[in-house]
Amino acid sequence: MKANFTLLLLVLLLFAALWIFGGQVKEEDLGPSTLIATLIPTKDNKTNGIVKIYRVKEGVKIIADVQGLSLGAHGFHIHKYGDLSNDTGANVGPHYGDMSSKTESSGQSEGSEGSGSEGSNKRTRPDGRPLGDMKMLVADDSGKAHMEMVIHGLTTQQLVGRSILVHAHEDRLEDGKWNSGPKVSMGVIGIAKTE
Ligand SMILES: [Cu+2]
């Protein structure tokens, strides 16, 4: 009887340990609950705004409020590097998740730079565009745009330290390449202070 009780206790302890340990690992993998990017104008521009990125079950939820835009649609992307050292936005690298510059095999070979966790996720959307290509911002005649969307298959952890860019015009497919014109606003994605 005593042996049975000890065994039961051990099993319970094991489950408790697995639950706590498992929970911690999962939390770390998923990343911070909220990220924020404060968009500042690039050289000779006036576009600014705030982008919040929330960790949700399906991936990440983006909520953007941007002002100082020209009327109409503007390319809006997550770029690979959070390097704003060039005031025109020249050092932010390609769109996040862009595989177009590499030979894409069956999707198994993984020799690219960046964090290893990047490779375990799909790098492109179903339409073939990079995961970092968000819905365009559409500004009204007051120059303001509000955009919300969920990007499936991304974690906040993958986005910390990258950047968000607003372009001068809409996403246009020109000679098989996406082009959205000069960069008008940029911000680094960081961990938000939450209450
Ligand atoms: Cu871009």
Tens of pLDDT, residues 113-148 = 333 334 434 578 888 888 999 999 999 999 999 999
The residue extents of the domains of the chain are 1-30, 32-97+118-191
For the chain, give the mean pLDDT: 85
pLDDT at position 28: 60
pLDDT at 1 over 60: no
Gap from CA of 77 to ligand 1 centroid (Å): 5
pLDDT tens digits, residue range 15-71? 776 676 665 556 566 799 999 999 999 999 999 999 999 999 999 999 999 999 999
Tell me: pLDDT of 12 over 50.
yes
pLDDT for the residue numbered 114? 36
Cα 68 to averaged position of ligand 1 atoms, centre (Å): 17
**Between these two residues, 13 and 93, which has the higher pLDDT value?**
93
Taking the centre of ligand 1 as the mean of its atom positions, its distance from the CA of residue 165, in whole angstroms, is: 5
* CA 186–ligand 1 middle distance (angstroms): 9
The Å distance, Cα 115 to ligand 1 centre, comes to 20
* CATH code for the part of the protein at 32-97+118-191: 2.60.40.200
pLDDT at residue 32, rounded to an integer:
96
* Cα-to-centroid distance, 19 and ligand 1 (Å): 41
pLDDT at 176 exceeding the cut of 90: no
Q: How far is the CA of 16 from the centre of ligand 1 (A)?
A: 46
CA nearest neighbour of 179 among 104, 102, 103, 95 = 95
Mean pLDDT within 144-162: 96
Q: Residue 191: in which H helix or E strand, if any? A: strand 183-191
Task: Calculate how far, in angstroms, residue 117's C-alpha sits from the geometric centre of ligand 1.
Answer: 22
Look at residue 110 and tell me whether its pLDDT is greater than 60.
no
* pLDDT attached to residue 7: 78
Which pLDDT belongs to residue 39? Answer: 98
176: left (phi over 0), alpha (psi -120 to 50) or beta: left
The CA 185 to ligand 1 mean position distance, Å, reads 10
pLDDT at 169: 97
What integer pLDDT is reported at residue 100 of this predicted model?
63
Give the containing element (helix H, strand E) for 51: strand 48-56
Structure-model confidence comparison of residues 71 and 111, the more confident one: 71
Question: Cβ distance 126 to 117 under 8 Å?
Answer: no
How many angstroms does the Cα of residue 20 sit away from the middle of ligand 1? 41
Compute, in angstroms, the gap from residue 189 CA to the centroid of ligand 1: 14
Ligand 1 center to 78 CA (angstroms): 7
Pairwise CA distance, residues 105 & 38, whole Å: 37
* 9-26: burial string, b at 16+ Cβ within 10 Å, e else: eeeeeeeeeeeeeeeeee
Q: Is the pLDDT of residue 170 over 60?
A: yes
pTM: 0.77
